[in-house]
């Protein structure tokens, strides 16, 4: 019996992981073919290079720079990590090959970057989606609250059209970073419909789909019309719930996060209908591209760069089949207002203040 108890304790220890994401192509440009030829290296996290998420997006950014700046094929490369233990060896390999810039996408690299940046103090490093304080590390973070504001506007417009007065937010875990998503969403919804009710729920982890499904089911049962999830794998369960309900002719929607999740929301095997209203995307490709450019121009410096709406660093996808053109125009108006400083989005949700 003891061994069962021990195993049950192991169960409790099973947890914690997060899946960040994001890609797109436009708004990239300006690479100078005459600029000094740089060597660029990327280390992927365990998600692999084709993860349709951070690794892939970052790689696309580097490739876009390579093409624009006419770099040699072999001077832009990536190394894949099969476990956390590969991070430092992979980073070290690239540094020793004389890369001008080494890129690490995703907060999973935090400890590895701390170590690596002190082992190679001269190595220029781009760290995406989290921050390490070192003179040779450029940290690219995103103004998630600004992007979330836009999807909040989308949610409110959609709900108003349907005559509904409730929208919801599901966070993977209740801490500062995820609260930024909540805060932006809340303010975006209120901008369109000040009276609209926003139901907030947090899960306990980023890798428990059934928990996301339960939360989404509860919200939809309570009359919530559109849910915005910032919950990685847990959010997949929420997407599944939205798909199931739409298949059963229930009119509910969900908003994706980090990357364009439209495809994840397609149901009934059809190729047109998706439960994803729109998505809040983070442009990691842009961060990688700009960092490569900075290295070539000699303007690279350590510190944290926040990619905001005005840099096109966050936003909604170029294609939104479930939004009308009119709504997209309204969203773009808000986007311009935020970019122009007319609207300031607070990263702290009202419930926390």
Partner 1 sequence: MSLALISSMLILSFNYATPIIVAALGGIYAERSGVTNIGIEGMMVIGAFVAAAFVPLFESQLGGVTPWIAIVLGTIAGGIYSLIHAYISIDLRGDQIISGTALNMLSVGIAVYFTQIIFGMQRTQTFNRGISKVNVPILKDIPILGDLLFMRIYPTFFLSLALVVITWFVLFKTRFGLRLRACGEHPSAVDSVGVSVRKMRYIGVILSGLLAGLAGGIMVLSQSTQFTAFSIHGVGFIALASLIFGRWNPWGVLGAGIFFGFSQIFTVYANDFAFLRSVPNEFFFMMPYVFTILAMLLFSRRSVAPKAVGEPYDVSKR
Burial track 129-158 (b if 16+ CB lie within 10 A, e otherwise): bbbbebebbbbbbbbbbbbbbbbbbbbbbb
Among 27, 267, 322, 337, binds partner 1 (CB under 8 A): 267
Give the 3-state DSSP-derived string for 27-77, with helices as H, strands as E and coil as C: CCCCCCCCCCCCCEEEECCCCCCCCCCHHHHHHHHHHHHHHHCCCCHHHEE
Minimum CB distance to partner 1, residue 112 (Å)? 18
CB nearer partner 1, residue 214 or residue 332: 214
- Of the pair 12, 122, the CB lying nearest partner 1 is at 12
CA separation for the pair 255, 268 (Å, rounded): 19
Q: Of the ranges 84-92, 181-189, 207-215, 331-339, which one interacts with partner 1 (CB under 8 A)?
A: 207-215
Instruction: With beta carbons less than 8 A apart as the criterion, state whether 277 and 155 touch.
Output: yes
Residue window 245-264: x/- pattern of binding to partner 1, with contact defined by CB under 8 A: x-xx--------------xx
Specify whether the CB–CB gap between 317 and 25 falls below 8 A. no
* Residue window 12-41: x/- pattern of binding to partner 1, with contact defined by CB under 8 A: x-xx-x------------------------
Q: Which stretch binds partner 1 (CB under 8 A): 27-35, 201-209, 297-305, 328-336?
A: 201-209
Q: Does 106 bind partner 1 (CB under 8 A)?
A: no
Q: Which stretch binds partner 1 (CB under 8 A): 91-99, 180-188, 216-224, 289-297?
A: 216-224
List 58, 92, 136, 236, residue binding partner 1 (CB under 8 A): 236
C-alpha to C-alpha distance for 308 and 317, rounded to whole angstroms: 15
Q: Is 51 in the site for partner 1 (CB under 8 A)?
A: yes
Residue with tokens 């690239």: 94
**Helix ranges, 248-345 (H):** 284-297, 325-339
The candidate with the shortest Cα–Cα distance to 261, out of 321, 337, 330, 342, is: 321
Note whether 213 binds partner 1 by CB under 8 A.
yes
Q: What Cα–Cα distance (Å) separates residue 78 from each residue in 44, 49, 99?
A: 7, 8, 11
Total residues at interface with partner 1 (CB under 8 A): 49
Q: Out of 221, 251, 325, 326, name the contact with partner 1 by CB under 8 A.
A: 221
Give me the residues that bind partner 1 (CB under 8 A), please. 1, 3-5, 7-8, 10-12, 14-15, 17, 46-52, 201, 204, 207-211, 213-215, 217-218, 221, 233, 236-237, 239-240, 243-245, 247-248, 263-264, 266-270
């Amino acid at each position: 019996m003891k061994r069962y108890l021990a195993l049950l304790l192991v169960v409790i220890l099973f947890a914690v992981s997060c899946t960040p994401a994001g890609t797109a192509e436009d708004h990239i440009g300006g690479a100078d073919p005459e600029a000094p030829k740089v060597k660029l290296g990327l280390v992927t996290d365990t998600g692999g290079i084709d993860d349709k998420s951070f690794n892939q997006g970052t790689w696309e950014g580097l490739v876009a720079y390579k093409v624009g700046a006419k770099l040699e094929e072999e001077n832009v490369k990536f190394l894949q990590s099969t476990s956390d233990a590969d991070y430092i060896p992979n980073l070290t390999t690239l540094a020793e090959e004389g890369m001008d810039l080494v890129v690490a996408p995703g907060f999973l690299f935090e400890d590895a970057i701390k170590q690596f940046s002190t082992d190679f103090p001269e190595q220029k490093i781009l760290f995406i989606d989290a921050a390490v304080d070192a003179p040779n590390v450029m940290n690219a973070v995103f103004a998630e609250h600004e992007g979330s504001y836009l999807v909040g506007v989308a949610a409110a417009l959609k709900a108003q059209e349907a005559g509904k007065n409730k929208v919801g937010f599901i966070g993977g875990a209740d801490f500062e970073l995820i609260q930024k998503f909540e805060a932006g969403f809340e303010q975006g919804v209120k901008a369109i419909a000040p009276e609209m009710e926003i139901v907030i729920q947090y899960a306990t982890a980023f890798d428990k789909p059934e928990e996301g499904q339960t939360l989404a089911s509860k919200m939809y049962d309570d009359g919530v019309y559109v849910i915005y999830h910032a919950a990685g794998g847990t959010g997949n369960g929420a997407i599944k719930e939205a798909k199931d309900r739409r298949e059963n002719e229930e009119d509910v929607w969900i908003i994706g996060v980090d990357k364009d999740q439209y495809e994840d929301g397609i149901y009934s095997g059809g190729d047109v209908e998706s439960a994803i209203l729109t998505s809040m995307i983070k442009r990691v490709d842009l961060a990688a591209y700009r960092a490569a450019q900075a290295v070539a121009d000699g303007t690279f410096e350590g510190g944290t760069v926040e990619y905001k709406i005005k840099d096109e660093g966050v936003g909604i996808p170029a294609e939104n089949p479930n939004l009308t053109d009119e709504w997209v125009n309204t969203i773009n108006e808000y986007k311009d207002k935020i970019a122009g400083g007319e609207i300031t989005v607070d990263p702290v949700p009202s419930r926390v203040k």
